[in-house]
Amino acid sequence: MIRVFVFTVCIALLLCVLLPIVPVHAQRDEGTVAAIWDFNNGDAKDASNKGVNGNFTGKPKVVDGIAGKALQFNGTKDGIKLPDSIDINTGGPYTNRTVAALFNCDDVKIDDRKQVIYEEGGATRGLVIYVHDGKLYGAGWNRAEYNWNGAWPFAEVKSKRWYHVGIVIRDGAAKVESKKFEMWLDGKRIAQEKGGQLHAHGDDIGIGHLNQNTVYHDGGGGGSDLDWFGGLIDEVLVYGSAFDEADFAELSAPLSVEAQGKFTTTWAHLKAQRSEK
């Protein structure tokens, strides 16, 4: 009996040690991938094979990034124009959505202007990620159907430094509810705000500039071919599922290994694992 008791206690202690390291279940559903632009081939083709292939405006340079190759945008005329997609902007309503990107901005306070990393939609419904006056904003809105006026969470960022940003709609409905819109930075959730589902939003999609209309925190955002980003943008992805902590931990992994000079090999391994799923 004593041996059985000791054995049981040992097993219980072992489980207590192991349980904290059990990974959090990821929420990413590969069946909901809408597009992935990894820029590893020096173009704006969609690596997810969903056909959302972009065209350059200007001449973004292909350079070494933090996750393989990246594009360097000059801040004046370099950008990517993306076609409509039923999985991104012309379908819906979208109840779950994740947009994420790795970026490195040359000057986060240049000329007190906005610098768009990614945008979809327009003045009525849409999403946008941009830098302005030393701050990184991730925003969403749906000003028709159920009148979600929008959320613009932000975080302070520095020039010439890599960051990973994500925005998420989580279980959005046709009404404004608390904690439905999230912003993530470097693998951590930094904001939960009111939000809801996103209905079809046909204005053009862009990377590295404002392709066609958006809504900024100060009410601006009308127009086309504006607000050019200066710096590096690495992998950008859009999914129809709401990523969680484990997903963002994987996506922001290059930030933790950059200083060790191992980011190319590590990220290549992560990408290979993902492609096999």
Q: How many CB atoms lie within 10 A of CB 2?
A: 6
| CA-based nearest residue to 236, from 80, 55, 76, 92 | 80
Q: Which helix (H) or strand (E) holds 254?
A: helix 253-257
Residue 236 has pLDDT above 60, yes or no: yes
Pairing of strands 205-207, 210-212: unpaired
DSSP state of 204: P
Of 11-15, 65-69, 228-232, the least confident: 11-15
- pLDDT tens-digit map of 156-196: 999 999 999 999 999 999 999 999 999 999 999 999 999 99
- Global pTM reads 0.86
Domain borders along the chain are 30-275
Whole-number pLDDT of residue 26 = 61
Quickly state the pLDDT bin for 30 (edges 50, 70, 90).
Answer: very high
Give residues with Cβ within 8 angstroms of 190, minimum separation 6: 153, 155, 183, 184
30-275 topology per CATH: Jelly Rolls (2.60.120)
